[in-house]
Amino acid sequence: MAPDGAGLYQLGGWTIIGLLVLFYGGTLLMTLFISKKNENADSYMTAGNNVGFGISAGSMTATWIWASSMYASATSGYTYGISGPIHYGLWGALMILFIYPFGKRIRAVAPKAHTLAEVMHARHGKSSQLMLAGSNIVGSIISITSNFIAGGALITLLSPFSFNQGILFIGGGILLYSLWSGFRASVLTDAAQVFAMLGAVVIVIPVVFFAAGGTDMFVTGAANLTPQQSDFFSSDAFLNQGAPYIAAVLAYAIGNQTIAQRLFAVREDLIKKTFITATVGYGATIIGIGMMGVMALYAGIVPLDGDTNKLIPQMAATYLSPVLLGIFLIMIIGALSSTADSDLSALSSIVMTDVYGQNIAKKGEANPKTMLFIGRITMVLATGIGLYFASKQLDILDLLVFVGALWGALVFPVIASFYWQKVTNRAFTISVLAALVVFLPVRFAWLRFDGTVGIMVDVLSVIGIGVVLGLMAFGFFGLKVAKIVAAVAIVAAAPFSIGFLHNYAVLSGSLVAYAVSTLVCYFMCFRNKATFDFASIARTIGDFDTRSDTADGQIEELTTKKQA
């Protein structure tokens, strides 16, 4: 390993190739253990709805810990100081916790579902199904792209390979082990990857901390911080990072097919236990890795080429020894692979179920073999699209917040559809479209928001605050408490928000999406006299493939052995 012109160190080309072959070769061997000649279409999507605690908790944690989330947490720390990673990691962790009460309801209503969009088809019809499926296709492509970007940035800094070569290595490796067994490959390899990630974090972060100067760094580097960056309770950090992420991650929790897929796969009695474990694992890891950004801020390090996506690899290449740099490489590759393979599985399930199974094949006549072929082709195409967009090297943090806010338009209609009999397909569709129409100009500042228009945006944002906090309360404490929390939040936030909140486009865009979708959906439905039999969903949704699949038993058996 030799220093490059920027004072950083790189691993040799053959060392990088060896590490990649070791990592992706190992994951491929794991998937061969559960593979079978004739795959089962339902197992390809949900692993038989009977995955045990160890595998489920590991997979849920690994899926939520993106390499992109590691990079974004470090960017937040570098931008906002010590409160940045805490805002990023803490709220993200709590959102995992908030999934499980809704998840229990969703699983009880549709125990054999493959996608949330499939449930919306049974609940409402095609338009709401395709709307939710389409948003997930966009979201998963963005997620795959951001993880490829993270991998490319890592490899280009730590090796002689170029960014485009790096993303090709990463994309090819992930596709290699995911293609044949789909979700079953993803969920099994995730569990191994998360243990590798957590172990690496425990080793790498302290080493970087002491190599960068230890506690003395906080004294000598204090002059590098602005007053807001020095303030643990920074309003700048909360309004630009914490608050938008609270809203965005709740949307991820409800709208994201990668999360729903694990919800439908885990044994129903293990949902709470799984999601609480993932909450702790995610929070500790992401806050810890985000502190590398804080350390870079105190150390006065300037991101290479002004690109904060390169900040974590830059810190590693500056302060780690050759062996630890290799461990660090595996940590980041494990993080990005665990999420990218989940997105590939999610996309394949959506196309298999919501495009082919529900809308192309005649009712009850979907061919499982055709479904498997379509799922694998989807993975190949999604990898290609992700590589194309990754080559543009977009900003990861912007991508994550954008897609989270976009999903905010769906949160209330989706949740309400599982609890409220009056929600109609027309109300679902119009409320989501209306929210998007308002979200886009607010998020991208297409209009002037001074005067009356700015006040209107602020009023909607305040309502959005009530909706977000009310939904959180509803999941745990029911409707009565949710109404009280929402009302108190609106009254409390109004005096401090109306008149200035529109200046924060990311936060306002997300909040108005929640507000508009909730208001439109509610006012279109509250007079509706129709009722809906939720039990009919379970009768409508079932397996596509009736063949037994012993590989699911292998996953469950492996989980049981781990627990023992």
Q: What is the pLDDT of residue 435?
A: 93
Cβ partners under 8 Å of residue 196, min gap 6: 330, 331, 334
In a domain, residue 541? The reply is no
How would you label 23-59 residue by residue, b for 16+ Cβ within 10 Å and e otherwise?
bbeebbebbeebeeeebbbbbbbbbbbbbbbbbbbbb
Q: Report how far residue 23's alpha carbon sits from residue 18's, in angstroms, rounded to the nearest whole number.
A: 9
Among positive and negative, which fits the CA dihedral 30, 31, 36, 40?
Answer: positive
In a domain, residue 280? The reply is yes
Among positive and negative, which fits the CA dihedral 15, 17, 20, 23?
Answer: negative
Beta bridge partners of residue 10, listed in sequence order: 2
Average pLDDT (208-233) is 88
6: pLDDT strictly greater than 50: no
* CB-CB contact of 130 with 432 (8 Å): no
Q: What is the pLDDT of residue 495?
A: 92
1: pLDDT strictly greater than 50: no
Q: What is the pLDDT of residue 170?
A: 94
Q: What is the pLDDT of residue 558?
A: 43
Q: What are phi and psi of 35, to 5 degrees?
A: -75, 160
Residues 321, 421, single domain; the answer is no
Residue from 229, 300, 262 nearest 45 by CA: 262
Per-residue pLDDT band at 350 (split at 50, 70, 90): very high
Q: Report how far residue 328's alpha carbon sits from residue 345's, in angstroms, rounded to the nearest whole number.
A: 26
Q: What is the pLDDT of residue 548?
A: 46
Using a pLDDT cut of 90, give the percent of the chain over it. Answer: 30
Residues 24, 108, single domain; the answer is yes
Residues 135, 265, single domain; the answer is yes
Residues 159, 280, single domain; the answer is yes
What residue numbers bound the domain in which 383 lies? 13-394
Residues 311, 382, single domain; the answer is yes
Q: What are phi and psi of 134, to 5 degrees?
A: -65, -40
Asked which of 282-286, 309-313, 458-462 is least confident by mean pLDDT, the reply is 309-313
Residues 224, 127, single domain; the answer is yes
Average pLDDT (242-270) is 82
Q: What is the pLDDT of residue 486?
A: 97
Residues 253, 352, single domain; the answer is yes
Q: What is the pLDDT of residue 195?
A: 77
Residues 304, 435, single domain; the answer is no
Asked which of 3-17, 114-128, 266-280, 513-527 is least confident by mean pLDDT, the reply is 3-17
Which range has highest mean pLDDT (95-99, 284-288, 318-322, 431-435)?
Answer: 431-435
Q: What is the pLDDT of residue 3?
A: 37
Where a domain ends, among 394, 427, 447? 394
Beta bridge partners of residue 51, listed in sequence order: 266
Which range has highest mean pLDDT (121-130, 215-224, 486-495)?
Answer: 486-495
Residues 139, 268, single domain; the answer is yes
In a domain, residue 42? The reply is yes
How many residues comprise the chain? 564
In a domain, residue 64? The reply is yes
Both structure tokens of 403: 């897609």
In a domain, residue 3? The reply is no
pLDDT (tens digit per residue) in 176-217: 989 878 888 888 888 777 877 777 778 888 999 999 888 888
Residues 374, 431, single domain; the answer is no
CATH code (residue 376): 1.20.1730.10
Q: What is the DSSP letter of 309?
A: G
Cβ partners under 8 Å of residue 305, min gap 6: none
Residue type, 223: A
Residues 468, 358, single domain; the answer is no
Residues 389, 451, single domain; the answer is no
Average pLDDT (351-364) is 84
* CB-CB contact of 204 with 331 (8 Å): yes
Structural domains counted in the chain: 2
Both structure tokens of 269: 């009695």
126: pLDDT strictly greater than 80: yes
Cβ partners under 8 Å of residue 496, min gap 6: none
In a domain, residue 361? The reply is yes
In a domain, residue 171? The reply is yes
**Residue pointed to by tokens 């019809």:** 125
547: pLDDT strictly greater than 60: no
In a domain, residue 239? The reply is yes
Number of H helices, E strands in the chain: 26, 2
Q: Report how far residue 108's alpha carbon sits from residue 126's, in angstroms, rounded to the nearest whole number.
A: 22
**Between 200 and 483, residue with greater pLDDT:** 483
Residue from 366, 340, 335 nearest 179 by CA: 340
- The number of angstroms, rounded, from the C-alpha of 220 to the middle of its chain's C-alpha atoms is 37
